[in-house]
Every structure is written in C-alpha cells, then in structure tokens.
Amino acid sequence: MLGFTTRQPGEFNLNYSVARAPRRVARNRRRLLRALGGRWQFVTLKQRHTDTIQVLRKNSRRNGVGRARRERDGAVKLTGDALITDRPGLLLAVQVADCLPILLFDAEKRVVAAVHAGWRGTAKRIAEKAVGRMRAEFGSNPKKLRAVIGPGIHGCCYEVGRDVVEAFDGQFPYAPKLFRRIKPAPPDMHWQQRLFSPEPPQPGERRPRPGVTAAERAEKFYLDLVEANRRQLLAAGLRTANVAASPLCTACRTDLLFSHRAEQGQTGRMMGWIGIAVMQTNSKKPRKADPSTHPPSPGKGGLAQGDKLSLVTKPRLDKLGVKPGARVAVLGVEEKAFARELRKRTRDVTQGRAKKSSDLIFLAAESPAGLKRLRTLQRALKPNGALWVVWPKGRPALKESQIIAAGIAAGLIDNKVVSFSKTHSALRLVIPLARR
Ligand SMILES: [Zn+2]
C-alpha cells in the first residue's frame, strides 16, 4: 500500500515538531491508520537532508525497530532520509512540505522504500542510493522496481541560489537541464515581460505583485527537483514507464498542500507512506502458540515477530472487498464466472453503467484510453467506495504504472493490486481521505 496525504481535511498535519497541537497530530495519524485498515506500525524519520538510509530487515534481530526511539503515538523514529523494508506491517513514512516524497516498491521481492528528497538529499543522490541499497540488500532488479514521486515544489516555483546551481553542476552532467534561468531584463523590458509572461498562472498559483526590485533584476534560477530525481531513478536502472510523478506543485497549490516555501515556514507536514500489508491467513491459529516457533508479540505497537506471509488464497470477492448486499457496477468486465460470483453475494449489480452511491465499480481497461472515464466515474462512488481497474496481464498496451498515473491524474490514489484471474490483474483506486 502506498499513498500521499494532503493538508485536508482541517489542516491535516502529521508532524509533531511543527505542531501547535500535538494531540491533533496523533489523532490525524490514527485517522490515517484507520483508513488503511489492518495493523500497521508507523516508522518515521528525523529527517536531516542527508543520504542516510535505514534498512529494516524482516529476518534480522538488529532491525532497529525494537530499540528505536518512539514518538508519542508509538511510531518508531529513526534518523535519516530514507527507509527500506521487506517486513510486512511496517508503514514507512516521510514527512514533507515542498521536499519530494519518493516511494519505491519491488513487487517481486516484496520490498518497499520511502525517500525524502529536498535539494540537499537530491544532490547527495539519495534516490539513486536507495535503489542501490534495495539491490544490494534484497536483490531487487531495478527494471522491476516502480517509483512514485509525490507532490513537492516544482520548477515553476522553486527558486534557488547560485550555491544550489553550483552543487548540482559539480555532480551531474545533466545539471544544466535541471535549471530554468531567468536572465535579468533591462528595466524598460519589464512591462513587456509581464504582458507576455511565458507561463500562464496555474489555478491557485501565487505570483509576485508587480513592482521591480533589485532582487528581481538579478539572474534567477529555478530547480526542477522532480526531473532531477526522475533522472536518478532512471540512472539507477528503472524503466521510464515505471516512474510516475504527481503533477501537483506544493507552492502553487497551498489550497490543497502544505508548502514550507510559499507559507514562509509556518505550515504543517504531509506524508508519503508505503508498506507491505500483513496478509491474514484463513487457517485457524493453534490454541497454544509454541514459543519456540511463534515468539510472543512483544507488544510494540501491535507488531508481532511472527508476522508471516500467507500463500492461502482468499476467495476472489473477499480479496476485492465485495460485501454482501453491496452496490456494484461492472463496466466491460466480460468474465461470466465473475458475474455469477457477484450475483451470489449481492443483487445490486449493474452492467455497463454505475448507479449513484456505488460501493464498488469494476472497470475493464485494455489501454490508457480506457482510463479516461476515471474522473467522471468516481462521482458515482460512495466516499469510501473503491474503483477497481481490471486489465490484462503481461501485455504492453497497458501497464500498472500507467494506471497508477491515470489514477493520480484523476485525483485518485491506488492502494492495492490483486490477481483478478489467470488473465487479468486488478488495481484498486480510492478517493483520498481529504476529499471524502
Ligand atoms: Zn509551482
């Protein structure tokens, strides 16, 4: 599971150190965990703009969780700017308000990572190094890795000093491509520049008020942090199609996102989070756990040492969250067996269209064009409903990363992928908490 929070609802700050009311932070974190369902142990970072990576291994006593400092809600807090784990039940979180949250996952080796990348971490190649660690410690194949770059400050707004330009120049051969330079114009040119501004303001964007200051006459540099990190991920071996990035700029969208820069430091922190869900087994637990094979839960925030991955397959409708009596819409999913299974569980099934207040919508898609309906379809969903995209396995016409990107573009977040059938996969998209 992975996702990004926004500042909504009600200034949804998730960081204690910038909070005026820590209780609200604890409450917001509880709300987030509840929304995710299941048992999760939060792992956060004391972020230092370094390239320090903390690796939490499933099969290691020295995984750092037991002895680590705790936040007031029991979250494990380590120091550094990236977290990697193969351990189910850990929810890795980075906290941001302009810096980029970068989430990485390896579905094959079941390894996830969360990276905090501001300009300093980026200059230290933290994203590239995180991929390197996944490779070295877990044998991840970068070609199989997927990355999602969450909302952060974009090149439209991220004005930086000459020191930053120089730090990148010395590091990256492609550095000139990462900066937009605004050359100083002669004073009499200024009114023209303003009239023929190359970029129309985005909705909600704050532009400086007219009036030419000395600072404005100096040469300016704007850093494209997203592109810088995208290049690092590609350099580390990821495929272009497996790197998705949010189009949202924090400084442009202070209505939706926290921006340290746009709000002069007086703001909250959002989270980018990722974790491997602990799968529930269907088999009954033995009455008395044998302590030699099942070490008792140490009671650390509900994280048991005995967390095991299950190979027991649940009935498909359970995996897909179809509850008895649910209102379900099926759009283009042709499989007859699926229709039969659905009818056994609920009578409220429509084919080819979605009724208002649907619990679940199944949308078949074979190409990106089939995802154009996401934006309008979500209006038929209940706030806590889910839209499953069902797509053919192993065909290049539509990739999982494209569905995730289309979801993000439609304002939806993905939080689960399951095997729908031998021939099809299904990815769940939901409305972000902030909009429910
Ligand atoms: Zn912007």
How large is the average pLDDT for residues 81-99? 96
Question: Considering the domain boundaries, does residue 286 fall inside one?
Answer: no
CA of 257 to the centre of ligand 1 (A): 11
φ/ψ region of 417 (left if φ > 0, alpha if ψ in -120 to 50, else beta) reads beta
What CATH number is given to the structural domain containing 119? 3.60.140.10
Residues 7-29 pLDDT 10s: 998 889 999 989 888 999 999 99
Distances in Å between the alpha carbon of 378 and those of 30, 269, 302, 371, 401?
A: 26, 27, 34, 12, 19
Residues 130-154 pLDDT 10s: 999 999 999 999 999 999 999 999 9
- Predicted TM-score (pTM) above 0.75: no
Question: Considering the domain boundaries, does residue 388 fall inside one?
Answer: yes
Least confident of 124-138, 256-270, 292-306, 397-411: 292-306
Q: Are residues 237 and 91 in the same domain?
A: yes
Pick the more confident residue, 290 or 157: 157
CA of 327 to the centre of ligand 1 (A): 40
Question: Considering the domain boundaries, does residue 166 fall inside one?
Answer: no
CA of 252 to the centre of ligand 1 (A): 4
CA of 203 to the centre of ligand 1 (A): 10
Percent of the chain whose predicted confidence (pLDDT) is above 70 = 83
Q: Is the pLDDT of residue 58 over 90?
A: no
Q: Is the pLDDT of residue 209 over 90?
A: no
Task: Please tell me the predicted confidence (pLDDT) of residue 292.
Answer: 38
Task: Please tell me the predicted confidence (pLDDT) of residue 38.
Answer: 74
Question: Considering the domain boundaries, does residue 408 fall inside one?
Answer: yes
Least confident of 225-234, 320-329, 368-377, 426-435: 426-435
Q: Is the pLDDT of residue 310 over 80?
A: no
CA of 153 to the centre of ligand 1 (A): 6
Q: Is the pLDDT of residue 351 over 50?
A: yes
CA of 322 to the centre of ligand 1 (A): 40
Task: Please tell me the predicted confidence (pLDDT) of residue 139.
Answer: 96
Number of domains comprising the chain = 2
Q: Are residues 34 and 139 in the same domain?
A: yes
Question: Considering the domain boundaries, does residue 189 fall inside one?
Answer: no
Question: Considering the domain boundaries, does residue 311 fall inside one?
Answer: no
Report the distance separating Cα 82 and Cα 157, nearest Å. Answer: 25
Domain limit, last residue, from 210, 244, 275? 275
Q: Is the pLDDT of residue 281 over 70?
A: no
Task: Please tell me the predicted confidence (pLDDT) of residue 135.
Answer: 97
Question: Considering the domain boundaries, does residue 99 fall inside one?
Answer: yes
Question: Considering the domain boundaries, does residue 61 fall inside one?
Answer: yes
Pick the more confident residue, 146 or 289: 146
Task: Please tell me the predicted confidence (pLDDT) of residue 102.
Answer: 98
Task: Please tell me the predicted confidence (pLDDT) of residue 59.
Answer: 76
Domain limit, last residue, from 275, 307, 342? 275
Report the distance separating Cα 97 and Cα 31, nearest Å. Answer: 20
Q: Are residues 398 and 336 in the same domain?
A: yes
Q: Are residues 356 and 413 in the same domain?
A: yes
CA of 264 to the centre of ligand 1 (A): 15
Three state DSSP letters for 39-76: CCEEEEEECCCCCCEEEECCCCCCCCCCCCEECCCCCE
Q: Are residues 263 and 328 in the same domain?
A: no
CA of 162 to the centre of ligand 1 (A): 20
Nearest alpha carbon to residue 225 among 127, 93, 137, 307: 127
What CATH number is given to the structural domain containing 384? 3.40.50.150
Q: Are residues 102 and 40 in the same domain?
A: yes
Q: Are residues 264 and 328 in the same domain?
A: no
Q: Are residues 321 and 403 in the same domain?
A: yes
Q: Are residues 358 and 244 in the same domain?
A: no
Q: Could you say which DSSP state residue 112 is in?
A: E
CA of 15 to the centre of ligand 1 (A): 23
Q: How far apart are the first and last CA of the chain?
A: 19
User: 277 by DSSP, 3-state: which?
Assistant: coil
Task: Please tell me the predicted confidence (pLDDT) of residue 434.
Answer: 73
Q: Are residues 141 and 249 in the same domain?
A: yes
What is the domain extent for residue 232? 2-155+224-275
CA of 128 to the centre of ligand 1 (A): 25
Choose the most confident range, by mean pLDDT, from 287-291, 328-332, 333-337: 328-332
Q: Are residues 140 and 252 in the same domain?
A: yes
Q: Are residues 12 and 80 in the same domain?
A: yes
